[in-house]
Amino acid sequence: MRNAVIASSSFYAPERVIPNQYFNELLNEDVDTWLVQNLTIRERRWAKPDESTADLVVQAAQAALRSAAISPEQLDLIIVATDTPEYISPSTASVVQHRLKAKNAGSFDLNTACAGFVTALDVAAKYIRADERYHHILVVGAYAMSKYLDLHDKKTVTLFADGAGAVVLSAEENSSRGFLASEMLTEGQYHDWMGIYAGGTHQPITQEAIDNKDHLLKFVKKFPKELNPEIWSRMILTMCERLNIAPNDVAQYFFTQININSIWETLNRLGVSREKTHTIMDRFGYTGSACIPMAFHDAIEKEKIKRGDLVMFVSSGGGLAFASAAFRY
């Protein structure tokens, strides 16, 4: 059967490094100790003032194309998963398609917040499996949340960072590797608990919105700490049942990396060693829809996974949206 395989991966993080000490001075208190002890975060990258989401995407995309030995002209589709787009309209993907000179590719953006990359990976894999005209699809998770941070809100400003992670999915006939299973679900009752609430049709940008900082990222309510571990572990067990495997048969898990304790709790529930996940939040902070592909590529570079390994991507994002996918790498 024709399947979608991960032909290559890459990521790009801006050059500007923001250490925890920056926030100690900005907020006039010690936030470094808490960040390291509770989240492992020591530093993160922020885009320069003239660096946008499309800039990050293009850097990651070009590296992924080189690694796959594929020219931009060979791309059939570009999907950019982001909730920090280049514009409200048109799509970030159209900007990327033009800059890459991917003249034969269609393109669109996808927004399930920080679950975006895994959602886009699922969509792209099914394009390839369903339609023989699709041979190579570029999937990029991108985040430039530093543009939307209130520098005096310590609940958000110390966590969020910028980056882009990309994969090229390619069609392969009669393959023993590639896409295996996926699941998406939404807990929409949490849609107004965290987000950027001004700038759309519900609340346009007005002086009042700016004064209330509604055009910036806000945690409105505190999420139940058991929410991610409960849903992540349930999604993993569902995929394991469908694939007739045990959780320990998975070589590596890649989770949304906003809270290290949620990751550890999920692995504890599954009876899986912490060695079976790879995190990058200590160096890159929280990069939203980019964090999973960034961690995936970093794990490849560190030889934590190899061709033929079974991997699972498990994500969550504002909305609340959840997405999971299993691949034989």
Neighbours of 273 (CB within 10 A): 9
Nearest to 228 by CA among 103, 323, 132: 323
What is the model's pLDDT at position 1?
84
Q: Are 263 and 308 in contact (CB under 8 A)?
A: no
Q: What is the pLDDT of residue 175?
A: 87
Q: What would the pLDDT profile of 257-301 be if each residue is shown by its tens digit? A: 989 999 999 999 999 999 999 999 999 999 999 999 999 999 999
Contact 171, 69 (CB under 8 A): no
Residues 164 and 290: beta-carbon distance below 8 Å:
yes
Q: Domain locations in the chain?
A: 3-175, 179-328
pLDDT of 312 higher than 90:
yes
Give first-to-last CA distance, the chain, whole Å.
Answer: 16
CATH topology of domain 3-175: Peroxisomal Thiolase; Chain A, domain 1 (3.40.47)
Q: CA–CA distance from 277 to each of 162, 254, 272, 298, 305 (Å)?
A: 21, 6, 9, 12, 10
pTM of model > 0.85: yes
Distance from C-alpha of 2 to C-alpha of 4, rounded to nearest angstrom: 7
Judge contact between 41 and 282, C-beta under 8 A.
yes
The domain over range 179-328 is classified in CATH as 3.40.47.10 = yes
Q: Which residue has the higher pLDDT, 176 or 229?
A: 229
Tell me: the pLDDT tens digits for 233-264? 999 999 999 999 999 999 999 999 989 999 99
DSSP readout, 263-322?
HHHHHHHHT--GGGB---HHHH-B-GGGHHHHHHHHHHHTTSS-TT-EEEEEEEETTTEE
Helix (H, G, I), strand (E, B) or coil at 29: coil
pLDDT in tens, 139-195: 999 999 999 999 999 889 999 999 999 999 999 999 889 999 999 999 999 999 999
Mean pLDDT on 90-115: 98
